[in-house]
Amino acid sequence: MLVFLDFEASSLGKQSYPIEVGWVFEDGRAEDHLIRPASGWEDWDPEAEAIHKIPRAVLLGEGEHHEAVAQRMLDVLAGHDLLASAPSWDGKWMSVLLRAAGFPRHSLRLRDTDAAHREAAVSILTPVLAPEKLGPAVEELLVRTAARDRGAASHRARADAEAERSRWLAVRDAATALAAAAGGHG
């Protein structure tokens, strides 16, 4: 099953670490977790805090232990197709979290959400469009749904993951409508 995942972090610096993770399954089930910084996680950027609005003091007082969050992720997400809109950043923070909890950094792997958008459109449109029309139709559909969905990120993990799921649903719905309009006469 597809799972849309997002992290918020202490900064965009080399020593940054995850402070919040959120995910939503394609069926709508969702979770989010504030992460208490592990020992040695000291990096903090006030400019990042101004964006995500999660004070370090809140993490220290209300965040879940990093090992518990990593274990929950493995328990719930292993075996699913994990997607992120910024897989290089989110993958970095997932790796930091997993390693700090004593798990191999590649216990979970991320792919780019854009790949899932393209795959959904292609799978729906392939049966009804001629091969020479498929590529251009998919590209136009992806551009159209991206333009319609260009809201600002909330910079909270679960909300941003839910926004990615919403875009995937919009792509799927648009492809379904196009397939119905094509009526098998691609």
pLDDT digits (tens, 9 = 90+) for 138-182: 999 999 888 766 555 678 999 999 999 999 999 999 999 999 998
Torsion over CA of 159, 164, 170 and 173, rounded to 10 degrees? -110
pLDDT digits (tens, 9 = 90+) for 114-127: 999 999 999 999 99
Q: Which CATH number is 44's domain given?
A: 3.30.420.10
* 86 and 117 share one domain: no
Sheet of strand 2-9: strand arrangement: 64-65, 30-36, 18-25, 2-9, 81-84, 110-112
For residue 23, give the 3-state DSSP assignment: strand
Provide the domain limits for residue 128. Answer: 113-182
Distance CA 106, CA 100 (A): 13
The domain boundary, picked from 71, 95, 112, lies at 112
Task: Please tell me the distance from the alpha carbon of residue 157 to that of residue 6, in angstroms, as a whole number.
Answer: 5
Asked whether the predicted pLDDT for residue 51 surpasses 80, the reply is yes
Mean pLDDT to the nearest integer, 28-55: 95
Domain count within the chain:
2
Query: Residue by residue, what is the 3-state secondary structure of 91-103?
Result: HHHHHHHHHHCCC
